[in-house]
Amino acid sequence: MADPRYVVNVDPVIARETPDGTEYLVIVRSEDEEHAPGMLGFPGGKVAAGPGESDVLEATAKREAREEAGVEIENVEQVTSTTFELDYGPTV
């Protein structure tokens, strides 16, 4: 199968309020990752919608938080959307 023309990635920013201020959850990317190995980042991954699944961005955010950081999240809100080219250039 050819590389996808477009990839939708979801990176949830997980925050909680504490008496000392807001804390954010970051993870260390695996050394085996193709992009940014060993770097700090937010948990996240590509959208993989199941048949008939609604609100795939929210479902993906929850799945990635659970899979990569072991946390369950609620109150998912989309904050921004961006585009970028892959490290090896556009796929078109």
**What angle is formed at CA 7 by the lines to CA 76 and CA 87, rounded to 5 degrees?**
115
Helix (H) or strand (E) holding 61: helix 56-69
**Residue range 31-45, pLDDT digits in tens:** 998 888 999 999 999
Confidence of residue 90 (pLDDT cuts 50, 70, 90): low
d(CA 44, CA 7): 13
Confidence of residue 74 (pLDDT cuts 50, 70, 90): very high
Residue found under tokens 């085996």: 32
Nearest by Cα to 35 from 92, 85, 80:
85
Global pTM? 0.78
pLDDT computed for residue 34 by the predictor: 83
Rounded to whole angstroms, how far apart are CA atoms 11 and 57?
10
Q: Which two tokens stand for residue 28?
A: 């260390």
